[in-house]
Amino acid sequence: MCSVAAPQAAEIDRKITYTISIYTPSQMKKDEKKRGDPKNTFLQLRSDESWDTLKAQLLAKISNILKPVTLEFANYGFYFTVPRVHTKATSLDDEPSYSFMINRALKGKDPAVSLTIEPHPTRVPKVSIAPRCSDIDSQWFL
């Protein structure tokens, strides 16, 4: 009978360094070549941290840098690459994509992930100041 050795604790909860690039809403309105440099920061988390923990930490970074009026995960696009392992920018939007990213990051000697955060355009409803003709009751003008 063959037994598989359990992974050492050092292999399970290695620290991953996240290099985070955050674009501002005004940069996202510009052509990609004219956007300029994003705001950069970093984060280190253990590889066994939950998806919810990473989301909370990313929202904290967004809040500190962009200071948005409302802070919701759905208002941003998150894309990751893993240097020398996974070089194609891939969407990070759920637990399966998070697990995939962690597995790729742990393949390297020094686990690292590059994250790009892009705010989605916000839609502000148009408010009409002048009433429409159909909104005016004709009896008031008699």
Rounded to a whole number of angstroms, the CA Rg of the chain reads: 23
Residue 111's SS3 state is: coil
Q: Which pLDDT score, from 0 to 100, does residue 95 have?
A: 97
What class does CATH assign to 11-122? alpha beta
Report whether pLDDT(73) > 80: yes
Q: Which pLDDT score, from 0 to 100, does residue 7 have?
A: 45
Report whether pLDDT(39) > 90: yes
Q: Which pLDDT score, from 0 to 100, does residue 4 have?
A: 40
What digits encode the pLDDT tens for the residues 47-71?
999 999 999 999 999 999 999 999 9
- CA pair distance 142, 139, nearest whole angstrom: 5
| Phi and psi at residue 75, to the nearest 5° | -85, 5
Q: Which pLDDT score, from 0 to 100, does residue 108 have?
A: 86
What digits encode the pLDDT tens for the residues 103-119?
999 998 999 999 999 99
Report whether pLDDT(33) > 70: yes
Residue 61's SS3 state is: helix
Instruction: Specify the higher pLDDT residue, 24 or 4.
Output: 24
- Enter the pTM of the model: 0.76
Q: Region 15-44: what's the mean pLDDT? A: 94
Give the start-to-end residue ranges of the domains of the chain: 11-122
Both tokens of 135, joined, read 């909104």
Q: Region 21-47: what's the mean pLDDT? A: 93
Query: Quick one: pLDDT band at residue 126, thresholds 50, 70, 90?
Result: low
Q: 122-132 burial, b if ≥16 CB within 10 A, otherwise e?
A: eeeeeeeeeee
